[in-house]
Amino acid sequence: MKLPKNIQWSVATIIAVIIAAYIVYAMVVMSEGRNETCDTLIVNISNPDNASFLSVDDIEEQLIQCGLHPKGQPMKKVSIRKIKEALRSNPFIADIQCYKTGNDKVMVKVIQRTPVIYVLPDKQSGYYIDAEGSVIQNSHYPVNLLVASGQIDRKFASTALSSIGKYIGEDDFLNNQIEQLVVSVGHDNHYVIDLVPRVGQQKIHLGTINNYADKLRRLKAFYSKAITSIGWNKYSTVNLEYDNQVICKKKKTESI
């Protein structure tokens, strides 16, 4: 006896559902029955500007301290979510990807935040500012960047100092020549900046942050054309404050 088509379809659907359910059940049972352990943690750190504030050891040590290092742990107990949450607390991490690969490996990919300047305000603890103007509050790492010191608040650091720090850091000549920015507040309550060179003892007066790129281009041209022939210590001050000018003051001749 031949069953009607609608009944045939229903029977076929029921059989398909039963088979699918069995397959899912079998996969779950097999998965639970496995006992793979993580034998490798792979850490990849993206350092777009060759910054060295994070290392693989730093990442692994942080996971160890949190009790989340996956190596030697059953893969089914490794929590990708908890690893990501823990690492996001690191102030030098901008973004993170974490996932299991194969049956015994965990991959962690980190994008590092890039500090451009270290800020040391008067009578306060120092902190880093990254290229986006965000504060990185951490003193564990050595200061190997351009330093800004003096009368500095967070807003000025996150806007003006972040911008000029990035500009100087991306210019090899300026980065090799300028060691520090000394910030003070002028009589008109505007921030003014003096530059401390790595070579020579002259005072370099930048003035306000306005048009800083043009001022630094003038400084660069001055060093390239004048200082190389005259010498580093000919002048006591170099003033870049005024448009289209580099005003220099010679050192006084010392009598013997």
If you average pLDDT over residues 228-249, what whole number do you get?
Answer: 79
pLDDT value at 230 more than 60? yes
pLDDT, the chain, mean? 82
Q: State the pLDDT at residue 20.
A: 65
pLDDT band at 254 (very low <50, low <70, confident <90, very high): very low
Report the first-to-last Cα separation within the chain, whole angstroms: 127
Q: How far apart are CA 243 and CA 241, in angstroms?
A: 7
Residue type (1 letter), 49: D
pLDDT band at 202 (very low <50, low <70, confident <90, very high): confident
Lowest average pLDDT, out of 28-32, 116-120, 135-139, goes to 28-32
CB proximity list for 230: less than 8 A, separation 6 or greater: none
- Among 14-28, 29-43, 124-138, 180-194, top mean pLDDT goes to 180-194
Q: State the pLDDT at residue 244.
A: 82
If you average pLDDT over residues 25-39, what whole number do you get?
Answer: 60
pLDDT band at 81 (very low <50, low <70, confident <90, very high): very high
Asked if 193 and 167 touch (Cβ cutoff 8 Å), the reply is no
If you average pLDDT over residues 195-211, what whole number do you get?
Answer: 88
pLDDT higher at 189 or 69: 69
pLDDT higher at 215 or 222: 215
Q: How far apart are CA 67 and CA 54, in angstroms?
A: 20
* pTM of this prediction exceeds 0.75: no
pLDDT tens track for 167-193: 999 999 899 889 999 999 987 888 999
% of the chain surpassing 90 pLDDT: 43
Extended strands (E) in the chain: 40-46, 93-101, 105-112, 115-121, 127-130, 135-136, 147-150, 178-185, 191-197, 203-207, 235-239, 247-250
pLDDT value at 97 more than 50? yes
Q: What is the Cβ-side half-sphere exposure of residue 236, based on CA atoms within 13 angstroms?
A: 6
- Residue 94: which of 112, 108, 107, 115 has the closest Cα? 112
Q: State the pLDDT at residue 245.
A: 84
Residues facing residue 127 across a β-bridge: 119
pLDDT value at 136 more than 90? no
Residue type (1 letter), 170: E
